[in-house]
């Protein structure tokens, strides 16, 4: 409660309001952005790829997923969920493939590169 001496004085306070913090200092730093998943490394041309999903951790949401490298036609990643799926229409060995996550701060992380082998369907086209 103000005393007669305090009347007429303005109170000076210093505070930082941001990222849900009231008080001094900077907002908390998010954990580093990371990505994990176990790729399926084999498939058959013109047959549904077993697929896999990647998961992002840390960073700043939202996350956006994309494919890195030259994947067989017909394989795609869901940009919102990180699910990789589809039906490959090209046979061959596809090297240096990865999935990338980009977070809301535009930081990126790639899963470890791998090789995907798609064997011909043997359909005699």
* Band (11; pLDDT cuts 50, 70, 90): very low
Question: In whole numbers, what is the pLDDT of the chain averaged over residues?
Answer: 86
More confident residue, 7 or 55: 55
Round to whole Å and give the CA distance between 87 and 42.
Answer: 12
Q: For 46-69, what is the mean pLDDT?
A: 98
More confident residue, 18 or 94: 94
**What are the structural domains, with CATH classification, of the chain?**
31-119 (2.60.40.10)
> Nearest CA to 116 among 52, 39, 38?
39
* Band (26; pLDDT cuts 50, 70, 90): confident
pLDDT of the residue at 12: 43
7, 23, 86 from 11: Cα distances, Å? 10, 16, 64
Sign of the Cα pseudo-torsion (5, 7, 8, 12, in order): positive
Round to whole Å and give the CA distance between 94 and 98.
Answer: 11
């Amino acid at each position: 409660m103000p005393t007669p001496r305090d009347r007429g004085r303005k109170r000076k306070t210093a505070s930082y309001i941001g990222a849900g913090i009231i008080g001094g200092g900077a907002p908390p730093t998010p954990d580093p952005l990371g990505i994990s998943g176990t790729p399926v490394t084999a498939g058959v041309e013109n047959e549904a790829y077993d697929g896999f999903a990647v998961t992002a951790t840390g960073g700043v949401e939202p996350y956006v997923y994309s494919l890195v490298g030259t994947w067989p036609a017909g394989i795609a990643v869901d940009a919102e969920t990180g699910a990789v799926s589809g039906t490959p229409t090209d046979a061959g060995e596809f090297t240096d493939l990865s999935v990338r996550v980009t977070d809301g701060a535009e930081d990126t992380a790639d899963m470890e590169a791998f090789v995907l082998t798609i064997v011909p369907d043997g359909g005699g086209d």
